[in-house]
Chains A and B, each alone.
Chain A
Amino acid sequence: MGWRFHHRPPLEKTAERRMPTRVIFTRLLKYLSPYKGWIAAVILSVIITSITDIASPYILGREIVSRYILRGDLEGLKTIIVVFIGIQATNWIANTIRMYGLGKIGQSLLFRIREKVFAHLQELSFSFFDRSDTGDLISRVTNDTDAIGEAFTSGLIQVASDILILFMTVAVMFSINVQLSLVSMIIVPMIVAIAIIFHSKFRVAYQMQRTRISNVTSKLQETISGIREIQSFTREKDAMKEFKNVNLENFQANLRATKVWGTFFPTIQLMQSIGMGIVVLYGGWLSLNGALGPIEDAIGTLITFMFYVGMFFGPIFDLTNFYNTIQSALAAAERIFEILDVEPEIKDSKDAVEIPKIRGEIKFENVTFGYDPKRPVLHNISFHIKPKETVALVGPTGAGKSTIIKLLCRFYDPQKGQILIDGYNIKKIKRNSFRKQLGIVLQETFLFSGTIMDNIRYGRLDASDEMVMAAAKLVGAHEFIERLPDGYNTKIGEGGAGLSVGQKQLISFARALLRNPAILILDEATSSIDPYTDLLIRKAMKLLLKDRTSIIIAHRLSTVRDADRIFVIDDGRIIEEGTHEDLLRKGGLYSRLYEMQFREPTAETITFSHGKQK
């Protein structure tokens, strides 16, 4: 079986949040621990701003209006104005500290999260990437971290300061007039009810927004990757239609969020107005009956209360307002934590050792493996490769050749059996100490953006320019590289755009050789190299393969003839083994494959139903 089953996507894509809010909170908070100093400063400044915010209406109503203006006390007015100025200045300084602190904490949080997610992605196993959608992963690391933004930290601080203000306001109100305060509280249950009703609506709407934008990203990604196909097959219109669909879904999700938010805002405003009305009516009633003292005091008290009722709604309004941003921040955080929570299937065991310089002995003992454990791709494979031996793996597409190599590199762990390198169980050695001594050229070549020099040097960062060129010469890449506009310093685009597949293969070949690896693995490394270059390389290869253990997968049997031994693999089993001559003599699958390659195709007439029938 040549395919892998993506039976269970590792990351959920549904809109529902699965992680409890408290868990996300505490996890995010953990990232904040290094910034205790800043957090303390921010909290202090929040307390100061809250106090000054609450003091202002009191001073304005009860002091300035009642005591000085209405009573005509000019000297007193002067003094209190100076105090008032002082309060404003304090408020300003505290605000500056708060804002900078929040920015600092928030950005540091993001920085650390991105760093951690990236590092974690570097650890995750291949099976994770097999099953994940690249666009979705990228969106989680970029868009989602951005969405946590400062929203989380400032939201959190805002919540704290709002609660503080709320309590302080209520306390001050009660200290002024208990009856009036009690009446003002009537609308509180109504506000709470509204907040609860809107709670779930916000949640669903915001989750949906995030999922839908990620679909848009994936579609874009797919189109850009497949642009050559789309243009060749003139499918632009259909691609456009598909994109419009996901884009429209995103639009609808956004509109839905707008609707929820648009209803919430006026509802709260109406509540505020009703609350204000109640205070005015009851306060007016009390005042007319003289229950608020002399009329000067009554007016001051009423003005203070009207301010307070306004302030009272401020924090509640803010709470729900920030509730949104926190909601989307939490949703985003969850999507990031989901990545962090994926355990790498393959990690170094605790007792893993650094493997010393490898001699290159490879042993597979009864290895069984399937990408989906229920469908094994390799069945009970055993073989022994001696140091410096060259072994070729041959067999039909999907037989399991590449899988053997992936297990050897420990990209996956076998379900049964074990793999030994120089007698060490591969599971007991540190992966990187082992992979550092491997040189691999994979079927799908991948080059990084940067210069050709950088790309070859990727195999060995400390290699000098001369060494890089020597490796390129050895594989026959030097000539075409020199012909490029800037030679070795030619920049190549993402995925090596601008180079042919054969050229990319040569570069990745040079990249592997530069490492001077103890074990060299060539997985269809020369499949797209033209016969000229192929001949050129073949000579060099003989030299190269001599000093190390090599495993070669090739469809072109001419490439494998010189191997010390050839394993013929079919349907996940080694069915034949021996030298080229042995195998030909044996007359099995190998000789059949070999014959096939040089046989002439014969013509048969096949036509399509929509073509002209013959």
Chain B
Amino acid sequence: MAFISKLTRYVIRRWHLFIFMIICTLLTTSINIYIPRLGGQVIKNILEAGDFNALVWLVIQIIGFTGVLGILSFLSRYMNGYFSQKIVYEIRNDAFRSIQRQSLAFFNKTDTGQLISRATTDTERVGRFLGFQFRMLIETSFLLVGVIASMVMIDLELTCISLALLSLILVSFSLFGKKIRPVISESRGHFANLTSVLWESISGIRIVRAFAMEDHEREKFQKPNNAYYRSMIKAAGLRATFIPITGLIGGLMMVVITWIGGLRIIEGRMGVDTLYVFSNYATMLMRPMRLIGMIWTGYQRMAAAGERVFQIIEAEPEVKDKPNAVELKELKGHIKFENVYFGYDKEKPILKNINLEIKPGETVALLGPTGSGKSTIIRLLMRFYDVTSGRILIDEYDIRDIKIRSLRKHIGIVSQEIFLFNKSVKENISFGKPNASIKDIIKAAKIAQAHEFIVKLPNGYDTIIGERGIDLSGGQRQRIAIARALLLDPKILVLDDSTSSVDVDTEYEIQKALSALLKNRTTIMITQRISTIRNADKIIVMDNGEIIEEGDHETLMAKKGVYYRLYQTLYEAQKEALEAVEAQKRLEEEKLILTRNGGE
């Protein structure tokens, strides 16, 4: 199994603990084998009506050895616990690291519940194997060797008979393993489904409620719950069939030993004490035989779980640094798309032959219907995905030749869907620049029009927001996200429909502040507000993955194309309003004059 070698790498890293554990186990096994001999001597002593003082000495030895055994077995358990848990810790860290490296395509394909279950439950299962079954495996193999050797020294024939019976246990277990393995992996699959349904139902609880679909959800949950139940019952059935057989075989072995041993004693070829020691050893073998079963099932479970965990750890991110990728220190902010094609599915391009140049300091507005590829352009620029063909240049560097982290460091983004962390407002704003001073944080918040509401929060900038903190409205979240991007003081600023949930009043203020900020940086914005669009240095109108018009407001208006028609329609809608506002203003002025006159 390929993953065993992967797991071994983790074990080898803790080799000193491992060696120490083996030494402890070796010693405990020896003591365990020695103690029954002392027991045999006790019986012999009593049977031959020997010396009571010798008996006392034997008992003292037994207790003393048990004490030493206790200390050693504590050490071996502790070492093993430390080492298995440390491996769980490391594997889980590695899984987390790998999850973080993945490109967005990975998260679109994999659901969160599955990922979480792999990084928690499955990893735990690997740990449980190392911490229990694996320790048992070592103990068992030492015990088997030691005990069998001791048995052979007592009586070869009886040993062979006992071992023949014991081997039946192994046969039944290998059969058991073969049968239970598919059932176990099936059940894990059902369990993961169950988790995803649960996850979705809780995340979407508002929609479930709003549509009164509680019964439908309950039915949806029934399916994986039922399937999981059935596969677990199947596993229980297999266990109940195979495991008690070991008990039966063990019992029969005792019967045979007693029968043959009894005959030998009657014939005078063996002492009762020897039979006692021998049957003690045979019993000691029973435990390993049973354990081999447990180890086997544990291994089966671990194997399935481990494979799933390593699938994550070894998932290659689709987007990654080239070995000789350069660090981008300074940036002018020159962006160029050259014949860029892209599709999540290569057969179906979402962007077709995009050619685009944005000069440093320019503000570009992207315009076009839903699904025309505006957000995709931004995702490609951020290198969340790599282009299918063509290339994207920043300051004449192909972005695939730049270290991803250094590229992203220069881009401040406010995305459509804002995620805030379960941290304080301060930490959320300084998310891209953790060492920012509170002065700068407040400044960014002020520009984003967030300062005013933040200071009104119970703990101001230290208020915890997010899932376990205070809920903010969509507009408030957007403003925090804007502050977060602004604090980076990025050379390239990307605003992906970033003010859609902000009310007009606030939006106006933000726009005002932003217009100053845009001056020294390259800005790409996706927006629906015509007033913002009109001020852009360049407007790019997209449809169906292609750029259909490009130019500034005046040029595009003169062209009388798609932009012109769109602008006309929107302008019509606005004209009425603007006139009304004008009328309103006049009215206000008149009133003002009236009151002023009245007052004098």
Chain B nearest Cβ from A540, distance in angstroms: 15
Q: How far is the CA of A604 from the CA of B570 in the complex (A)?
A: 27
**When the two chains form their complex, are residues A397 and B211 in contact, meaning their CB atoms are under 8 A apart?**
no
**When the two chains form their complex, are residues A493 and B108 in contact, meaning their CB atoms are under 8 A apart?**
yes
Q: With A69-B266, A299-B47, A498-B108 as given contacts, are A6 and B469 in contact (CB-CB < 8 Å)?
A: yes
Chain B nearest Cβ from A286, distance in angstroms: 10
**When the two chains form their complex, are residues A233 and B488 in contact, meaning their CB atoms are under 8 A apart?**
yes
**When the two chains form their complex, are residues A449 and B370 in contact, meaning their CB atoms are under 8 A apart?**
no
Q: How far is the CA of A111 from the CA of B190 in the complex (A)?
A: 13
Does B167 touch A at the CB level, under 8 Å?
A: no
Closest to A411 in B: B209
Does A459 touch B at the CB level, under 8 Å?
A: yes
B311-344 near A? 1/0 per residue, CB < 8 Å: 0000000000000000000000000000000001
**When the two chains form their complex, are residues A597 and B218 in contact, meaning their CB atoms are under 8 A apart?**
no
**When the two chains form their complex, are residues A251 and B88 in contact, meaning their CB atoms are under 8 A apart?**
yes
Interface magnitude class on chain A: 35 or more
**When the two chains form their complex, are residues B89 and A251 in contact, meaning their CB atoms are under 8 A apart?**
yes
From B100, B199, B434, A236 is in contact (CB under 8 Å) with B100
From A72, A100, A243, A494, B236 is in contact (CB under 8 Å) with A100
Does A89 touch B at the CB level, under 8 Å?
A: yes
From B92, B101, B209, B580, A591 is in contact (CB under 8 Å) with B580
**When the two chains form their complex, are residues B469 and A238 in contact, meaning their CB atoms are under 8 A apart?**
no
* Tally of chain B residues near chain A (CB < 8 A): 202
Q: How far is the CA of A380 from the CA of B530 in the complex (A)?
A: 38
Q: Once A and B bind, how many residue pairs between them come within 8 Å at the CB atom? A: 550
Does A565 touch B at the CB level, under 8 Å?
A: no
- Which of B173-181, B252-260, B552-560 is the contact stretch? B252-260
Q: With A118-B218, A251-B89, A609-B443 as given contacts, are A81 and B259 in contact (CB-CB < 8 Å)?
A: yes
Chain A nearest Cβ from B590, distance in angstroms: 11
**When the two chains form their complex, are residues B405 and A5 in contact, meaning their CB atoms are under 8 A apart?**
no
**When the two chains form their complex, are residues B203 and A600 in contact, meaning their CB atoms are under 8 A apart?**
no
Does A501 touch B at the CB level, under 8 Å?
A: yes
Instruction: For A69, list chain B residues within 8 Å (CB).
Output: 261-262, 265-266, 272
Q: With A446-B207, A498-B108, A558-B574 as given contacts, are A85 and B467 in contact (CB-CB < 8 Å)?
A: no
Closest to B54 in A: A284
**When the two chains form their complex, are residues B415 and A228 in contact, meaning their CB atoms are under 8 A apart?**
yes
Instruction: For A283, list chain B residues within 8 Å (CB).
Output: 46
Does A269 touch B at the CB level, under 8 Å?
A: yes
From A60, A122, A558, A603, B208 is in contact (CB under 8 Å) with A122
B198-228 near A? 1/0 per residue, CB < 8 Å: 1111111111111111101110011001101
**When the two chains form their complex, are residues A3 and B457 in contact, meaning their CB atoms are under 8 A apart?**
yes
Which secondary structure dominates where chain A touches chain B?
A: helix
**When the two chains form their complex, are residues A435 and B52 in contact, meaning their CB atoms are under 8 A apart?**
no
Does B150 touch A at the CB level, under 8 Å?
A: no
From A107, A269, A557, A558, B232 is in contact (CB under 8 Å) with A107
Name A271-328 residues within 8 Å CB distance of B: 272-274, 276-277, 280-281, 283-285, 287-288, 295, 298-299, 302-303, 306
**When the two chains form their complex, are residues B574 and A598 in contact, meaning their CB atoms are under 8 A apart?**
yes
A154-183 near B? 1/0 per residue, CB < 8 Å: 000000000000000000000000000000
Does B597 touch A at the CB level, under 8 Å?
A: no
Does B196 touch A at the CB level, under 8 Å?
A: yes
Closest to A2 in B: B473
Q: With A88-B248, A396-B503, A449-B111 as given contacts, are A500 and B370 in contact (CB-CB < 8 Å)?
A: yes
Instruction: For A438, list chain B residues within 8 Å (CB).
Output: 210, 212
**When the two chains form their complex, are residues B432 and A235 in contact, meaning their CB atoms are under 8 A apart?**
yes
**When the two chains form their complex, are residues B475 and A397 in contact, meaning their CB atoms are under 8 A apart?**
yes
Q: With A231-B384, A273-B62, A277-B62 as given contacts, are A118 and B201 in contact (CB-CB < 8 Å)?
A: yes
Instruction: For A557, list chain B residues within 8 Å (CB).
Output: 504, 577
Which secondary structure dominates where chain B touches chain A?
A: helix
Does B11 touch A at the CB level, under 8 Å?
A: no
**When the two chains form their complex, are residues A138 and B199 in contact, meaning their CB atoms are under 8 A apart?**
yes
Does B408 touch A at the CB level, under 8 Å?
A: yes
Closest to B243 in A: A99
From B255, B375, B476, A3 is in contact (CB under 8 Å) with B476
Name B503-547 residues within 8 Å CB distance of A: 503-508, 511-517, 519-520, 528, 530-532, 535, 544
From B46, B119, B370, B513, A506 is in contact (CB under 8 Å) with B370
Interface centre among B217, B244, B259 (most CB of A within 10 A): B244
Does B85 touch A at the CB level, under 8 Å?
A: yes
Does A24 touch B at the CB level, under 8 Å?
A: no
Q: How far is the CA of A244 from the CA of B206 in the complex (A)?
A: 33
Q: With A3-B470, A137-B202, A584-B584 as given contacts, are A111 and B229 in contact (CB-CB < 8 Å)?
A: yes
- Which of B13-21, B68-76, B140-148, B387-395 is the contact stretch? B68-76
Instruction: For A231, list chain B residues within 8 Å (CB).
Output: 100, 104, 382, 384, 408
Q: With A111-B229, A221-B112, A606-B447 as given contacts, are A530 and B369 in contact (CB-CB < 8 Å)?
A: yes
Name A457-507 residues within 8 Å CB distance of B: 458-459, 461, 480, 483, 485, 493-495, 497-498, 500-503, 506
A339-352 near B? 1/0 per residue, CB < 8 Å: 00000000000000
Instruction: For A89, list chain B residues within 8 Å (CB).
Output: 248
Does B158 touch A at the CB level, under 8 Å?
A: no
Q: How far is the CA of A227 from the CA of B201 in the complex (A)?
A: 21
Pairs of residues from A and B, 9 with the lowest C-beta to C-beta distance, nearest first: A103-B236, A258-B81, A266-B70, A88-B251, A397-B475, A273-B66, A100-B240, A233-B432, A99-B240
